[in-house]
Amino acid sequence: MSTMTNAKGKSSQISNYGKKIHPEREVKTVLQQPKRVFISSLIIIFIAIVLNTIGAHFNAQNHFLKNVINNQTSELPITLDEVDSSSKNGYSFLVNNGDNNTDSLPLQEEGNSHQVNFESQKDKSDVNAAEEKVIYSFLATTEQDIDQLSIYEQPCSPTGYRYESSIGSAPETCGITFTDHLLDQDQVNKLRTMAAKYIELFGETTTTNRESLNLQWINLHTLFRKAPKKSLLSDDEYELLINASVAAKSVTSMAFGIPEDRLFFTTVCQFTRYEPVAAFSEFRHIDKVRSPELIVTSILWLSTVDVDFEGGRLEFLNGPGDEKFNPYLIEPKKGRYAAWTSSHENPHGVHELYNGERLALIFAFTANPKFGHSTIESLRTWATLKKPSFYY
C-alpha cells in the first residue's frame, strides 16, 4: 500500500491494484456484517421450520390413508375366480377398486344378483382408495364358447374412412367382431409355442411408447428375415402362419363387408408378449389416429386370462348406456379371435397385467396396396429382399 494526497489535501490509501480504499467505509462494512449474518440465520431457521411442518403433515396423512386402505381391503372376502360361471356370461359386474362405500357389489343376469368383490392378486396396499367404482360389461367372457362369428355394431366414423371410400374399400359395417373358432386348438397351441420361442430369440421392445414398456414383439417380416439364418421357421410353422392369416382375412372381410382383395397385410403383423415388467401406464387410443393407413386391427389370443395371466383384459370405450365412453370388455382366451374397425368408433386400451404373460398374434390390415401385402407369402418375399423399403 502507498499513501497520496489529493487536490483537496485529503489523503487516501491506494492498493497495489490501483483501487482506492477508504478507511471509513471499511469500518462501516465490518459493522454491518453481524447484522446480515443474524438476519440470514433467522431466514434459514424459518424455512427449516416450515419444511419440517409440511413433512410431518404429509407423513401423518399417508399413515392415515394406508390404515384406511388396509382396513377396507381386508374386508374383500370373495375373488372373481369364486363367481360361478353362469353369473358372468356377457353381463355386467361391479368392480371395487378400493372405495368400499357399498356393502355389496352385484353381478346381474336377467334380474338375478350375486354379491361379489373383485380381488386381484396385486398387493392391496397399492390400491388407490380414492378411485371410483367402475361398471364393466362384457362382450365375451372366458366361460363362453363363441362358436359363430359375432359382431357388435357401431356407426362408422363419418370422417374416418375418406380415403377408403374414394377407392371403394370403406367398411360397410363398423364395430367389433369375435369368434372362438378361427383355428382348431392344435393349431393354436402350435402358434403359442412359436410365439414364446421366437419372441425369446428375436423379441424387440421400446421405451418410446408408453404402452410398450411391458411389451415384447417379433414382427413376422423380421422373423422371415432372421429365422433362415439360424435354420429356424420350419415349413410346417410357415404353413401354419399362412393358414391363420387366410382365416383372419376371411373373417374380417365377412364381418365388415370389405372385399378380401381390398384387404392388405401391413408390416404390423406380429407375435406379442405382455408381461408386468415396469409400472403400468394406461394407454387408451384409436388405431387409425396413430396409423392412418389402418382399416381393421385384429388379435388372436394365445393365452387365457385368469389361467395364464391376471388382468390384461381388452377394453373398448363404446359400451351400452347413455354416458359416453362406457367400457365394454373382451376377455382374452386361447384361440379367441377379435377384430375391430380402426377409426374413432372403437377407442380402446388394455387393462393392467398383474402377473403371468399374455401371448397373441396380431394382424393389422390396410386398404391401401402401397402400404401392405395381399398375402403373407407376399410379405415374406418383400421381407427377404436385400434392402426392403420400410414404408410402414
Residue ranges making up the domain that contains 235: 145-383
Shared domain for 189 and 305, answered yes or no, is yes
Neighbours of 80 (CB within 10 A): 17
Residue 101 located in a structural domain: yes
Which position has the higher pLDDT, 303 or 322? Answer: 303
Shared domain for 185 and 253, answered yes or no, is yes
CA distance 121 to 271: 27
pLDDT score for 301? 98
pTM score over 0.85: no
Helix runs in the chain, H state only = 23-73, 162-166, 185-202, 220-226, 235-256, 287-290, 376-383
pLDDT score for 112? 30
- Domain tally for the chain? 3
Residue 131 located in a structural domain: no
Shared domain for 238 and 109, answered yes or no, is no
Quick one: cell of 86? Answer: 353362469
Residue 57 located in a structural domain: yes
CA distance 271 to 195: 6
Shared domain for 222 and 326, answered yes or no, is yes
Quick one: cell of 175? Answer: 364395430
Shared domain for 21 and 154, answered yes or no, is no
pLDDT score for 55? 59
Percent of the residues in the chain that have a pLDDT greater than 70, as a whole number = 65
Shared domain for 294 and 265, answered yes or no, is yes
Shared domain for 57 and 86, answered yes or no, is no
Residue 66 located in a structural domain: no
Shared domain for 370 and 230, answered yes or no, is yes
Query: 307: closest CA among 81, 79, 96?
Result: 81
Question: Which three-class secondary structure state does DSSP give residue 31?
Answer: helix
CA distance 332 to 344: 23
Q: Which residues contact 73 (CB under 8 A, 6 or more apart)?
A: 98, 100, 124, 125, 127
Residue 338 located in a structural domain: yes
Shared domain for 279 and 342, answered yes or no, is yes
pLDDT score for 209? 61
Shared domain for 86 and 194, answered yes or no, is no
User: Does position 254 have pLDDT exceeding 90, yes or no?
Assistant: yes
Range scoring the smallest mean pLDDT among 63-72, 166-175, 209-218, 275-284: 63-72
Residue 135 located in a structural domain: no
Range scoring the smallest mean pLDDT among 186-195, 316-325, 348-357: 316-325
Shared domain for 153 and 285, answered yes or no, is yes
Quick one: cell of 75? Answer: 374386508
Mean pLDDT of 275-297: 88
CA distances 27 to 21, 24, 30, 33, Å, are: 11, 5, 5, 10
Shared domain for 110 and 247, answered yes or no, is no
pLDDT score for 287? 94
User: Does position 317 have pLDDT exceeding 80, yes or no?
Assistant: yes
Give residue 81's pLDDT band: very low, low, confident or very high (50, 70, 90): very low
Quick one: cell of 320? Answer: 351400452
CATH number at residue 367: 2.60.120.620
Percent of the residues in the chain that have a pLDDT greater than 90, as a whole number = 53
Amino acid identity for residue 154 in this structure = Q
pLDDT score for 291? 93
Q: Which residues contact 190 (CB under 8 A, 6 or more apart)?
A: 237, 240
Residue 195 located in a structural domain: yes
Give residue 278's pLDDT band: very low, low, confident or very high (50, 70, 90): confident
Give residue 56's pLDDT band: very low, low, confident or very high (50, 70, 90): low
Question: SS3 sequence, 77-101?
Answer: CCCHHHCCHHHCCCCCEEECCCCCC
Residue 70 located in a structural domain: no
**Longest Cα–Cα distance in the chain:** 114
Which position has the higher pLDDT, 162 or 42? Answer: 162
User: Does position 109 have pLDDT exceeding 70, yes or no?
Assistant: no
Which position has the higher pLDDT, 112 or 273? Answer: 273
Q: Which residues is 305 bridged to in the sheet? A: 309
